Amino acid sequence: MIAAAAPVPVHVVAPAGEAAGASATTLAERLLTPELMADLAQMIVLEALEQLAGDARFAAAAKLGGDERARAAVDRFAERQLEREAAFIAADRPALVVVIARRYQQDFSEVERRRILAFRATPAGKTFVKGDPASSRPPEVAAFLASNTGRRYAEHGAALLEGRDVAGWREHATARLRSRLAPGIATLATELDLIARTPS
């Protein structure tokens, strides 16, 4: 059992006025689906591994080149880290909800947020949220996206996840993961060294 991490301290300047309203929080919670949280975990693991690619302990893998055994060992290592990191990312979700809710409050009025939630609750909105191809979307989706609120909402999700607040959290989570990778890297280095000394 992996112990849950403490919530990540997220540095956010709260908007003037009241805290994020219920509609902003609901939008944030619905954005952060289990599937999206899993995608974020995968991104963080890949970023951490890319940053460690120059580590001397990975030298054996580089020397082995196209050895399938080495690639399989690295893949197993990445899968183990992804499984571990998913638990830590899940523990960060409440902090992320706060960050994203504040952005929704900044970027959309209360009327717009309620309009978005009402659209998401319709059959057409559920089709849109699932990401179905445009060719199979009901005409109500096109009508919503043609509105100023709908167009901005459609563009908002990707921009939000790449924005400063979430990017800051991702940087923190990546650094946190690097600090936990040492035991796994040592094990991987030993495995790769054994592969290098054993003819295939």
What digits encode the pLDDT tens for the residues 140-154?
888 998 999 999 998
Mean pLDDT: which of 28-42, 112-126, 156-170 is highest?
112-126
Q: Which helix (H) or strand (E) holds 193?
A: helix 182-197
The alpha helices in 21-163, defined as continuous H runs, are 22-31, 34-51, 59-64, 68-107, 110-121, 123-129, 139-146, 148-162
**% residues pLDDT > 70 (the chain):** 80
- Tokens 């109500």 belong to which residue? 140
d(CA 114, CA 154): 15
State the pLDDT at residue 115.
93
Instruction: Tell me the mean pLDDT in the region 16-30.
Output: 74
State the pLDDT at residue 8.
39
Q: In the numeric block, which tokens belong to residue 180?
A: 């936990």
Please tell me the pTM assigned to this model. 0.65
